[in-house]
Amino acid sequence: MRTQLRTPASDAGPDVLRRAVVAGGAGFLGSHVCDALRARGVEVLCLDNFLTGTARNVAHLLPDPGFRLVRCDVTDYVHVPGPVDLVMHLASPASPADYLRLPLQTLKAGSLGTWHLLGLAKEKDARFVLASTSEVYGDPSVHPQPESYWGNVNSVGPRAVYDESKRYAEALSAAYRSSASVDSAIVRIFNTFGPRMRADDGRAIPTFITQALAGEPLTVAGDGLQTRSVCYVDDLVDGLLAMAAGEHPGPVNLGNPDERTVLDLARDIIAATGSRSAVQHIERPQDDPSVRRPDVRLAEQVLGWRPRVAWRDGLDRTVAWWRAAGHLGESVRPQ
């Protein structure tokens, strides 16, 4: 194993991961990655342009001398002084509402952003981890989706800006591995939820929680029988760190194979919030995938990873955070 993640109890050996760059670290997933790395004693340089994230997500880390937040657009030149052992690329609009309103920024994050961060990894001889997505499978004709499935993507549809940007980023990561000796790795992340999601990011779970807590109808797209498999954020972050610490190039799926209909998610959220909201069916967006479920056997085999937090437990933790943060239906806009 090339790099070891130090646990709080373990000693720092020569191959221990000491300093990480987390691009997109002020976002939902990135901020949890920063927390997890700091908990393991890794120095973190968080780069973010606050396009869809906010400094509030990492405000609790700012007094920590092992953490630094730098406003930086990774589609511009990225310069980082000093040694770096890990570059994790999470910088991209991620929710459909975000990437549909930010199409060019999304394509640039996957293309130019990936170029610059792979260049940084090459310069520093660091491990590079790309946060890719289940969206590379498009509207899948193979179910569940193993990593060997090549996908069914409409390259000129509205979602293409995200899907194709990630597919390009994957190709670039693989090419840097084969032709420039960069220790790159690709993780395909499936729908993840938890504290610090934005109430207005347009994804089903934050939208439903916000609507349920406000006593408004939960707007379910179509008949709601399309499926999603949702993973609690702590599990996902464990998988990302296992990938960072390992040698496998990927792509490796990370997600929870517990598949549920969107209608069931809505009903569970009504129950978990104690809301009296009803369900309201609205038009289904174009190219909305009808099924989505990861095959996570490769992650189990090569990372020893599988999700542990049950949907209802994760939901209760998320709703508790939502209430404590006071997101009772109002928009939480990034800075």
| 257 preceded by a cis bond (ω within 30 of 0) | no
Residue type, 128: F
Under the binding rule (CB under 6 A), the answer on residue 52 touching ligand NAD is yes
Nearer to ligand NAD, 41 or 285 (CB): 285
Q: Of residues 99, 162, 176, 232, which has the active-site annotation?
A: 162
CB of 296 to ligand NAD, least distance (A): 14
Residue of 5, 21, 22, 29 interacting with ligand NAD (CB under 6 A): 29
168 tagged catalytic: no
Under the binding rule (CB under 6 A), the answer on residue 252 touching ligand NAD is no
Neighbours of 289 (CB within 10 A): 17
Angle between helices 112-124 and 160-180 (to 10 degrees): 30
Q: Which two tokens stand for residue 280?
A: 């309201």
Residue of 19, 20, 46, 49 interacting with ligand NAD (CB under 6 A): 49
Q: Which two tokens stand for residue 214?
A: 């406000």
Nearer to ligand NAD, 73 or 200 (CB): 73
Distance CA 142, CA 150 (A): 9
Under the binding rule (CB under 6 A), the answer on residue 30 touching ligand NAD is yes
In the block, residue with structure tokens 């569940």: 144
Q: What are phi and psi of 251, to 5 degrees?
A: -65, 145
Residue of 28, 128, 208, 322 interacting with ligand NAD (CB under 6 A): 28
Residues 8-27 that bind ligand NAD (CB under 6 A): 23-24, 26-27
Residue of 17, 45, 46, 48 interacting with ligand NAD (CB under 6 A): 48
Sign of CA dihedral 258, 261, 262, 263: negative
How many residues bind ligand NAD (CB under 6 A)? The answer is: 31
Under the binding rule (CB under 6 A), the answer on residue 118 touching ligand NAD is no
Under the binding rule (CB under 6 A), the answer on residue 173 touching ligand NAD is no
Nearer to ligand NAD, 191 or 226 (CB): 191
Going by DSSP bridges, is the β-strand pair 259-261/227-229 parallel, antiparallel, or unpaired? antiparallel
Residue of 21, 44, 96, 113 interacting with ligand NAD (CB under 6 A): 113
Strand partners, 132: 188
Q: Which two tokens stand for residue 65?
A: 């001398």
Sign of CA dihedral 142, 144, 149, 152: positive
Nearer to ligand NAD, 277 or 315 (CB): 315
Under the binding rule (CB under 6 A), the answer on residue 74 touching ligand NAD is yes
CB of 266 to ligand NAD, least distance (A): 18
Nearer to ligand NAD, 118 or 277 (CB): 118
Residue of 3, 38, 41, 50 interacting with ligand NAD (CB under 6 A): 50
Residue 93 class from Cβ within 10 Å (0-12 exposed, 13-18 middle, 19+ buried)?
Answer: buried
CB of 113 to ligand NAD, least distance (A): 5
Residue of 107, 126, 136, 189 interacting with ligand NAD (CB under 6 A): 189
Residue of 5, 44, 80, 91 interacting with ligand NAD (CB under 6 A): 91
Residue of 43, 86, 87, 92 interacting with ligand NAD (CB under 6 A): 92
Sequence-ordered list of residues with C-beta below 8 angstroms from that of 309, at least 6 positions apart, any chain: 232, 234, 235, 317
Q: Which two tokens stand for residue 308?
A: 């542990």
- In this structure, are residues 158 and 98 in contact, taking their beta carbons and an 8 Å threshold? no
In the block, residue with structure tokens 């996957």: 110
Under the binding rule (CB under 6 A), the answer on residue 153 touching ligand NAD is no
Sequence-ordered list of residues with C-beta below 8 angstroms from that of 158, at least 6 positions apart, any chain: 100, 285, 286, 287
Q: Which residues are catalytic?
A: 162
Interacting residues with ligand NAD (CB under 6 A):
23-24, 26-30, 47-53, 72-75, 90-94, 98, 109, 113, 131, 133, 189, 191-192
